Amino acid sequence: MQRTRLDLARTRAARQVIDPVFLDTPLYRCEALEPELGCAVSVKLETANPVRSFKGRGTEVVAHQLAAGGSRAVVCASAGNLGQALAWSGRGRGLDVTVVASRFATTAKLDRIRALGARLELVDGDHELARDRASELSRHHGIRLVEDSLDIETCEGAATIGLELADAATPFDTILIALGGGALATGVGRVLKAVVPHVEVICVQPLGAPAMTRSWHRRRVVTTDFTDTIADGVAGRRPLPEVLDDLLQVADDAVLVREESIVAGMRLLLDHAGLVVEPSAALGIAALLEDRDRFAGRHVVTVVCGSNVDMDAHRRWTGTAPHRGT
């Protein structure tokens, strides 16, 4: 096993401090999807919890540590899911939570961050500007900055999904993981490569936000000037070198998918699995749709990582149904 920043023993220990509501999430075959996709498909469903994404696994670890160390406040930048999860985890432990987000972030996510009692500061720019501002607030107020994918707790929190997948009763061949900052991919990938190394780990990113995927292929950080995707949860422009190093150790491939495939994936998950998902959570299905030959006959697991989506947009995207079957 090659080395990454992630530690398997710490990941196992993380399970002890994460609220069980985020753990042992459903993993099941969705046979009704399979005629459209040409392979066996299972979903690991990370949406059936109080914050509707996998991010609670990481924020629980962070908030536990902060509370144990006597901290009173914490700040993060977020496209919405990390902020919501940190607001939830912080509220339960008496922490003052500040979330910095782009004013273009998904409204449903911003509403929930406010509803959970966090202070929300919006910046007039994209997620990278929010990261800069959160860093500034952290320095100015001397409070902990949670940096998604850089802070090892966010990766090892996500990696607890890998522990559950490695324990799956039914073996599988391939895992498809949404790639944004990299916490989910490096976390899950690290555990699978250690425990079930035959499982192929494939990261999926939108063509409209390809920075980390390009970086993985070139084995050095590649940034982009802008992003253009509906998959708000994975729309970063500046990959972190530490995270890229980890990703290079655990990913077998990283692929880019078109926007129309993401929409088709959301529609398939709605029509044939009854699942409302946010665009980032449909990236795996999008990858299957774009390369049926590659996955034909395999058993593929995809992590349905979040369902925080503006329902008006979701209705617009999924309203007509060319993929609806028989």
Q: Out of 116, 178, 240, 266, point to the residue binding a second copy (CB under 8 A).
A: 116
| ∠ Cα 194 43 52 (to 5°) | 100
By the rule CB under 8 A, 308 interacts with a second copy = yes
Choose between 47 and 71: whose C-beta lies nearer to a second copy: 47
Quick one: tokens of 55? Answer: 């991010």
CA nearest neighbour of 252 among 171, 160, 179: 179
Q: From CA 57, how far away is CA 17, in angstroms rounded?
A: 9
Binding residues for a second copy restricted to 155-184, rule: CB under 8 A: 169
- When binding is defined by CB under 8 A, the residue of 55, 57, 112, 131 that contacts a second copy is 112
Min separation Cβ 14 and a second copy, Å: 18
Q: Is 296 a binder of a second copy (CB under 8 A)?
A: no
Residues 2-41 that bind a second copy (CB under 8 A): 20-21, 24-32
**Shortest distance (Å) from residue 158 CB to a second copy:** 18
Which residue in the block uniquely carries the two structure tokens 């590659």?
294
> How many angstroms separate the Cα of 160 from the Cα of each of 7, 57, 173, 181, 288?
11, 8, 19, 17, 25
Least distance (Å) from a second copy to the CB of residue 294? Answer: 25
What is the rounded distance in angstroms from the CA atom of residue 162 to the CA atom of residue 131?
27
Check binding of 102 to a second copy (CB under 8 A): no
Q: How far is CA 295 from the centre of its chain?
A: 22
- Dist CA 38 CA 61 (whole Å): 38
Q: For the window 260-279, what string marks contact with a second copy as x by the rule CB under 8 A?
A: ----------xx--xxx---
What CA–CA distances, in Å, run from 315 to 122, 280, 310, 318, 320? 26, 16, 9, 5, 9
| Alpha-carbon distances of 157 from 10, 13, 153, rounded to whole Å | 10, 10, 6
Binding part of the chain for a second copy, among 68-76, 111-119, 176-184, 239-247 by CB under 8 A, reads: 111-119
Only one of the segments 146-154, 211-219, 240-248, 316-324 lies at the binding site for a second copy (rule: CB under 8 A); that segment is: 316-324
* 151 DSSP β-pair partners: none
Q: Give residues in contact with a second copy (CB under 8 A).
A: 20-21, 24-32, 45, 47-50, 52, 111-112, 115-116, 169, 270-271, 274-276, 307-309, 311, 315, 319, 321, 324, 326
